């Protein structure tokens, strides 16, 4: 459990760094629950980078058209939940997420 928390913290830090690099102006709330898509902070190019980041961490292709992207990736917490749900250890069916 402690390892899970450490992993999530590491992923959170990575994701925040990614968003800071591609999308977010200084001073914008990057808390776990802060809305990213519905607030317009995350635009298409950054979403693409986030999608590739998720794929890299899942080690699998993600079909972003197969789920409600706006709902499932609207915050850092939601994206981390998505990764946790689809991580290889929790995948029962193949390696395809989404």
Partner 1 sequence: MYEIVRYCPELKPQVAALQRHLWRGSEAENRAYFEWKYERNPYIASPLVYLAVCEGRVVGMRGMFGACWEIGPRSERFVVPCADDFVIAPEHRNRGLFGRIMSAAWEDLAARGHRCAFSLSAGDVTLAGSLVSGWRSIGSALEVQRKGIPSAPWRDRVGARLRSMPLLWRWADAVAGRVDETGRRPFRRLDRPARRSPDATTVWLAREPKPTPMAELIRRLGHDGRVRHARDEEYLGWRFANPLHEYRFLFSGDRRMDGYLVLQSYRLDRSRGVNIVDWEAETPSVRSALLRAALDWGRFAEVSAWTVTLPEAARALLGESGFAPATRGRLTRRGPHLLVRGIGDPRSGTEPLLGTHRLLDVSGWDMRMLYSMAA
Q: Which tokens in the block code for residue 95?
A: 């390696």
92 vs 14, 16, 32, 47, CA distance in Å?
Answer: 26, 29, 27, 27
**Residue 60: exposed, middle, or buried by beta-carbon count in 10 A (0-12, 13-18, 19+)?**
middle
Q: Are 65 and 29 in contact (CB under 8 A)?
A: no
* Site membership for partner 1, residue 64 (CB under 8 A): yes
Binding mask 69-98 for partner 1 (x = CB under 8 A): xx--x-------------------------
> Which member of 13, 43, 88, 96 binds partner 1 (CB under 8 A)?
43
Q: Contact region for partner 1 (CB under 8 A) — 3-11, 58-66, 75-83, 84-92?
A: 58-66
Site residues for partner 1 per CB under 8 A: 22-25, 37, 39-48, 51-52, 61-62, 64-65, 69-70, 73
């Amino acid at each position: 459990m402690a390892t899970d928390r450490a992993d999530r913290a590491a992923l959170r830090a990575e994701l925040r760094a990614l968003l800071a690099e591609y999308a977010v102006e200084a001073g914008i709330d990057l808390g776990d629950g802060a809305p990213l898509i519905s607030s317009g902070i995350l635009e298409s190019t950054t979403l693409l980078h986030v999608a590739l980041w998720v794929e890299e961490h899942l080690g699998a292709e993600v079909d972003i058209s197969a789920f409600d992207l706006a709902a499932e990736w609207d915050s850092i917490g939601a994206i981390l939940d998505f990764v946790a749900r689809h991580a290889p250890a929790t995948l029962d069916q193949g390696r395809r997420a989404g």
